[in-house]
A = this chain, B = another copy of it.
Amino acid sequence: MMESRHDRVAARSRRREPAQSTQRKPTMSDVARLAGVGTMTVSRVLNGKACVSAETAKRVQAAVEQLNYRPNELARAFRGQRSRSIGLVIPYLFDPFFANCAQAVTAVAREHAYSVIITTSDEDPDTEYAAAEQMLQRHVEGLVVIPSRFRQTRLTRALFGKTPVVAFDRPVLDPSIDVVLVQNTSGTRRMVEHLIEHGHRRIACLGLSRSLYTMNARFLGYRRAMQDAGFKEDAALGCESKEITLSILKDKLYGKDTPTAVITFNTLVARYALSAIAHLGVKVPSDLAFTGFDDFDLAEFTSPPLTVVRQPAQEMGQVAANLLFERIARAELPRTGNRIVLPVEIVLRRSCGCKHRTPVIIH
């Protein structure tokens, strides 16, 4: 048996000898051999550690160049218990709002020379959970997440162990996890108050299920403003498709107590509503004032230009990522989760009834 082991070793050795000539990627010991030093010296040179003479370093550098050696990050991460990567879990990428968030996170990660592993959850708690688990198995050093359904999310401290996590745009149940949000409630409230100042009393809101945190928060802002003014609520929170939204709006506009103004709670629903309004031949803002939550690039060029609550998508991603890297750098105490709330702006264009030629922004 000793025999066969020897044979194997010899075979292996023979296979590895002409490392650089074949396809195999050169390893540190190839470099070390060529430079006539030990692997530790190579490692030290590559990591810029002291205690290496200038001459030796030069020889190692030369060998690295000659072999076109690149360290194996997988091995490095594995050995060093530091993967230099973070995870990003996000519902969708085709919503420009989420895409902007993601862009900001990747930009911050690049500054830190970290890789980003990205997954879209499709707003599904199970997909989200699986994604988070896979990332943990890959030993990401931290996670940035836009959690899906608030009450159903399975993301907890217990799952993550000591891996830092930052949730943004929406919170998680676990209060020990950092959260970055925007002023959903007060933003919506101020928008509705603006409509009230225009003289509207019958204001409808259109959104998606309240099981989405942002929808609920925005609805609460709407409710608050309406209650304070003593007006009756008129909410439709099931605008899941263009067709449904059309039928909802048709009912509202052809029924009694027809609303004179409307607020949509995200860009998707705004699009559905706009489509319905065009189809029904309703004039904005004379027949119906129109406002939305979340600004988008072409809001200025719709007819009429849309008045919206603008939320700082990129800033939110940036703040969340920075928070994460802070926690990665300093694993110490503050176990209590931060809760950062970013301000929104009201962008007054003309769909609300304002006459401004150019947008007016209220902070």
Contacts and interface: CB of A to CB of B under 8 A. Distances in A.
Interface residues of A, number: 55
A31 interface: no
Given A298-B271, A301-B303, A138 B73 contact: yes
Interface string A47-61: 000000000000000
B118 A106 contact: yes
A134 B70 CA distance: 9
Nearest to A277: B301
Contacts of A297: 267, 271
Contacts of A137: 70-73
Given A94-B103, A96-B96, A74 B70 contact: no
Contacts of A136: 70
Interface in A110-124: 110, 115-120
What's the number of copies of this chain in the assembled complex?
2
A148 interface: no
Contacts of A237: none
A102 B93 contact: yes
Given A23-B162, A137-B71, A301 B99 contact: no
A70 B136 CA distance: 9
Interface in A285-319: 296-304, 314
Contact of A93 (B73, B106, B278): B106
Given A99-B96, A103-B93, A116 B119 contact: yes
15 contacts: A23-B162, A73-B134, A73-B138, A85-B117, A106-B120, A110-B120, A115-B117, A115-B134, A115-B138, A116-B118, A271-B297, A274-B301, A275-B301, A298-B302, A303-B303
Q: Enumerate the 3 nearest inter-chain pairs by beta-carbon distance, A residue then B residue, closest first.
A: A303-B303, A99-B99, A93-B103
Given A73-B139, A110-B120, A303-B304, 6 more contacts: A93-B100, A94-B103, A106-B118, A115-B138, A274-B298, A298-B299
